Structure 1
């Protein structure tokens, strides 16, 4: 699950090209001791054979194992999305998608019931990923998978990872699940209606319709069972436990905002003592079930209790906005009310000032990962630490006041309207 968002409709299987789509750039071979693509491919085929891939499969797949510089350019040029959580969730977890999810659960009730019994994953959780990843199979991508995988394997950015994904794709073919020309998906090599990487496809796909193949492109039953298997086995889902619930947090100066962090878990009884309630004002259960307070837009935005099962969402896609949206959509499909919108627009730093803030955090000694204007977990943790230092509400949300303090100014500077990068 490397990429997400709307994808173009899948194309019909296409003839394999006879030669590379575009010549590799000079830097592509830098991590392969200068090997040409053809020699690199020869070694990769040897590794696949050593991993058990048959010569018959290698011969069938060979016409599709060609280099495409356009795929590599696309990987290196991924754009940052400019939406905050409420905007992204409003679009991706819209009412129509909730209704489609509920309809799919009714249409394939037997498969969903079987999956919940065998794996403990609720139907709404499976349906939410199904809807977000491909609109229930309508948008799976239209690019030849083997071409994408081998191109990214030859490129040096994530070579080892995609070499493994290429071999896994060949194993899928060897097992008889898909043919090379059927392998059509996203530009990053993901396959099927819930966009599995080939390693996940090979490991977790199950034959739920009993036809002898694990077909995640065309069989809804296989999609449902395989997705449940991956969530339960690969992502360690806890049977019978919640994943995300919207809550109401008292906006009081005494509230310990520094406790709002996915790395911090408190019993629900403790959150109740601090004044946290369900979104409708009802009291939280007075129990010891651990939960984290998640504020995707700081203390002025929506608030959620995230439980141990929420880790499955952040493992599926480490974008906080995507994972929170997926968890929220699942609650909606399961019958939860729409989340409460902020009473007023949440102040949001523009992209260039988020990058500046990250640069200042790096100068202050923090590791924020890549300085790219994307507020990931490392950046949010650094923001919280500086908020604590300056005596500001430590909700991990980057503000104009924090940026002004870190610039050495006494008062916040005016901030132009803008949107933060999504992660």
Structure 2
């Protein structure tokens, strides 16, 4: 008698071993236990439509949920519903802008206590001047690593590290076997280029030049070379920093790099003056820079693409009536990241399997979630039914993150998520995500 699985998923096009091919997946207890050309028998059967493909769930390792303390900016319920609607089955939450910041075990416990989640959710810790020398308890409590700023973060409760403190943090992180993830902008360069704000977007970009990223990244490289610690460069916006990173990686230094959908799909030339929904730090740069980031991804010099979902209230995002010096910085893109990147990738002739590698398996491997980000026997059945040729126009009022602000509002995008499945169960209204530990 043939085995009957909890769920059988039948697809004419499933992403298996880096290639789309016909497959049937047998799923038991939330795990893929069989992959066959068929037929398999299941208690429940999902058969994909002709225009749909099956891909692993997206893993977004850079998400600001902001709860507790600034839940009016976002929150676990709204963020994870938006994630699932965009095909994201796993997020890792940043240690700010919640209050308290995730710099102590007590703060981590407070965050976990309120985290009712629709998708699996893990947590980064923070490395700030006040907790250096005390990172191990957070590490032992299961955070995936430690975030640090090298320039002011924008919130008082999360201070940045100077050169000596960066060295201290790297030594401690090397000793405990963790990693430092870094917002790499240099405060001295930023101070030297500070201006009076205003509505001119180009003036905003000039206030945070490539040099700020280059200088800060060189500081991280030097620290990694000295300490042996593992480091990761967050939200790379400047392609001008790539030569230094290329040389460091060729040297064998343990440094990885991410970039974000907004840097890959928006260019300075298209941003109107006063359009503060496009403000983020580091900033969106010009078209030539955008093209260079794509080339670096294709060349393997940038490892992953994650959203840096960083929402706020509309009042903060549009503070100052278009003044880039006053508006809060950050792009809310968790629900749209896959479609945004796929739209531009397909225009450039880059196949979907490459995009999925950058946004699913790559981030999963980066944080050590080896059973996520892939359709293979033994992997968790985190699945996305995706219609890659279908299109939709973004209406910010229909997005599921808390505040109706989006840099992508009005854009026509390619690729619709028809359904998202977590551990073999379709994600619905009720929270069904797990809280993850490293």
Q: Shorter-chain-normalised TM-score: which range? A: under 0.3
* Structure of larger gyration radius: 1
TM-score (norm 1): 0.24
Structure with greater strand share of residues: 2
Q: TM-score, normalised by structure 2?
A: 0.23
Q: Quick check: which one's helix share is greater?
A: 1
Higher relative contact order (CA 8 A, sep 6+): 2
